[in-house]
Amino acid sequence: MEHTLTSRDLEEALPPDAEEILHSGHVASGWSGAIWLDRTLEWIVGAAILAELVVILLNITFRVITGDSVLWTQEVSEIALLTIAFMGGAIAYPKGAHMSVQALIMRLPAAWKPYLAALVDWLVFVMSAGAFALFVPTLVQQIEEKTPILQLPVFWVSMPFSLGMVLIAWFALVKLRRQQKRAVLAAAGIAAALVVVVLLAPPLFYYASPNVLLGTVLAILFVLLFLGLPIAFVLALASGIYLYLGGISEVSAIPIGMASGAKGFVLLAIPFFILAGTVMNSAGLTLPLAKLVDALIGHLRGGLLQVVVVTMYIFSGISGSKVADVAAVGTTMRGMLEERKYPRGEVVAVLSASAIMGETIPPSIVLLVLGSITTISTTTLFLAGFVPAAFLALVVMVLVFLRARKQGGVASPKASWRARGSATFFALPTLLLPVGMVAGILSGFATPTEVSSVAVAYAFVLAAAYRRGSKRLLGDTLRETTTTAGMVLFIIAAASPLAQTLALAGVSQQIHDLMSSLGDSPVLFMLFTVILLVIMGQLLEGLPAVLIFAPLLLPIATDFGVNPVQYAMVLIISMGIGSFAPPAGVGFYVACATARETVENSLKHFWPYLLALFVGLLVLAAVPWFSTFLPALAGLIPF
């Protein structure tokens, strides 16, 4: 039984060149130009993750024994987090692991693609080299500054950002060296011309209205997106261009904002949750869960497709990543589904719909990030996410039930109580992981970061106890985590200055004024923003869209009388639908690759599920109870 998504799966599942939609793929050795450098960088970032894991576990132990915390852990955590974000983000770039919009590029003539690829790499070089140059004065000022507790030079705390920018610039040049010389030279001329235009453009905006400036920058942002420039670099470039053209602030605020955006103790939970999910996936620990759910509900009409929905609901609480959910559950259950002759297109549809449903199930990375950038507590968001996800899971399961006769497939025989007891026994250790994580956070016994560190340790112990995974499990999962966590944290860092820039531009007030002019209707506001967020989820993916739009829209929702907790759930699910909806939703293509089915055949099966989820989303937008019941019951928000 396979438990990982391979490059061969991608090649077999997708039509020619469709795999370009995906954010990552097979990477040849020597992605940085030198294998020794590859291994050194992965070792440094992996060591930062492990060192921080040990520090957090020691802090938990010390607090349990003495009742006090170790004060210096905050400073060590900051250095580790910046290392993971910027050096891990740098590693992700040459591997092709950064999120980007490829839907337009796929449809361009083949002769254009080398020129576009070279232009993207030149733009990445310009952004990273420029960010480093702008950050140098700040770095120099920090030489004499010391951290308050460990008295470390602040210079060394900021060093990961500087090294990350230098590495990205180097990787861009390495990638350019491997491309067609003609395309590289032509793209260099285009990139140089674009830089000159931007440098000479400020006088044109001296007397222009703020709306003209904002419109121009947003147009640039979308052009860069559709060129295929990785989303993180688009966000940083758009922010810098806005500040430069408008003369609003020093452009050096962008690298400073990026470095600040990657800080925050709660963000450490992200690499830990990713590592825990990667260990569970690599060690095949999803299988006992799937067998337990099969024993309990596999006999229902729809059989294993119903099992997929429930297993996704449970596993979403382990991995914290919807793409990881799809890959783990899909590959684990693929053999069972094929053996009982379930149509692959229907499997893709149910996997995709279930992943959308799982967006709000703790410990979702999106929930963690949303709690760190808004005034809503992470505990409140975690509690609020259960019922909306359960409601959408019920919607999907009802549709599976209604379509079961038409779609075929052999349901499981009803399991005996003895078989159910046996399945429970083997699945219970795995099931304790998501239950323990959520219980630890909701009880207030530990922070999300502390809970996630314990989850990693427990996942490794469980893998060893089950004797699953190779002897290289630690090294393999750490390498995968450095890339994924680096990419996620780099996006968070890049989105931070853009969110501040949009706030500075008064975008929130403009949206508020627009909605007020249409009648001050909460219903109309909900409909408008749901459609907007689904579209933005397509273009920016879920996480970047949440980082940009949540701080802008949540205050407006409160002004219109919409409960902020309810609106947070609607916002997340809307962007989740966008992330899986064709043509640009990458999650759908991952599901196709996982089930080894073509996009064309899968689409015919997916549309009914997408429509059902959208109707379910409208119900969640209309009825606050689904989102507010559990937080209110816990006394976190008023009834």
pLDDT 10s digits, 621-637: 999 999 999 999 988 88
> Is pLDDT above 60 for 53?
yes
> Is pLDDT above 80 for 249?
no
Euclidean distance between CA atoms 541 and 537, whole angstroms:
5
Q: What is the pLDDT of residues 449-458, one digit of tens each?
A: 888 898 899 8
> Is pLDDT above 60 for 209?
yes
Please tell me the pTM assigned to this model. 0.86
Q: What is the pLDDT of residues 85-139, one digit of tens each?
A: 999 999 999 988 888 877 677 778 888 999 999 999 999 999 999 999 999 998 8
> Is pLDDT above 60 for 340?
yes
Q: Highest-confidence range of 97-101, 573-577, 612-616, by mean pLDDT?
A: 612-616
pLDDT at residue 409, rounded to an integer:
60
172 and 122 in contact (C-beta within 8 Å)?
yes
Q: What is the pLDDT of residues 17-41, one digit of tens each?
A: 344 434 333 344 567 677 888 889 9
> Which residues does 135 contact at the CB level (< 8 Å), separation at least 6?
158, 161, 162, 165, 252, 255, 256, 259
Local confidence band at 11 (pLDDT 50, 70, 90 cut-offs): very low
Mean pLDDT of 480-497: 89
Share of the chain above pLDDT 90, in %: 30
CB atoms within 10 A of CB 506: 14
Euclidean distance between CA atoms 341 and 345, whole angstroms:
12
Local confidence band at 76 (pLDDT 50, 70, 90 cut-offs): confident
Quote the Cα angle for 55-479-155, to 5°.
50
Rounded to 5 degrees, what are φ and ψ at 343? -60, 135
Handedness of CA 429, 434, 439, 445 (dihedral sign): positive
pLDDT at residue 410, rounded to an integer:
63
Mean pLDDT of 565-594: 85
If DSSP states are collapsed to H, E and C, what string results for 370-420?
A: HHHHCCCCHHHHHHHHHHHHHHHHHHHHHHHHHHHHHHCCCCCCCCCHHHH
> Which residues does 161 contact at the CB level (< 8 Å), separation at least 6?
82, 86, 135, 255, 258, 259, 262
425 vs 437: which has the higher pLDDT: 425
> Is pLDDT above 50 for 258?
yes
| H/E stretch holding 253 | helix 253-261
> Which residues does 490 contact at the CB level (< 8 Å), separation at least 6?
85, 86, 88, 89, 92, 98, 164, 232, 262
> Is pLDDT above 70 for 281?
yes
Euclidean distance between CA atoms 103 and 21, whole angstroms:
6
The mean pLDDT of the chain is 84
Euclidean distance between CA atoms 542 and 574, whole angstroms:
9
CB atoms within 10 A of CB 419: 14
Rounded to 10°, the helix 269-282/417-442 angle is: 170
Local confidence band at 263 (pLDDT 50, 70, 90 cut-offs): confident
> Is pLDDT above 90 for 212?
no
> Is pLDDT above 70 for 6?
no
pLDDT at residue 21, rounded to an integer:
38
CA atoms within 13 A of residue 623's CA, in its CB half-sphere:
12
pLDDT at residue 191, rounded to an integer:
95
For tokens 């002759």, name the residue: 341
pLDDT at residue 188, rounded to an integer:
96
pLDDT at residue 10, rounded to an integer:
39
Question: Closest by alpha carbon to 13, among 605, 580, 589, 603?
Answer: 589
Local confidence band at 569 (pLDDT 50, 70, 90 cut-offs): very high
pLDDT at residue 24, rounded to an integer:
36
Handedness of CA 380, 70, 277, 420 (dihedral sign): negative
Rounded to 5 degrees, what are φ and ψ at 146? -125, 150
Instruction: Name the 3-class secondary structure at 146.
Output: strand
311 and 286 in contact (C-beta within 8 Å)?
yes
Kindly give the residue spans of alpha helices, DSSP state H, lying in 85-230: 88-92, 103-106, 113-141, 154-177, 181-200, 210-227
pLDDT at residue 8, rounded to an integer:
38
Mean pLDDT of 349-353: 91
pLDDT at residue 465, rounded to an integer:
80
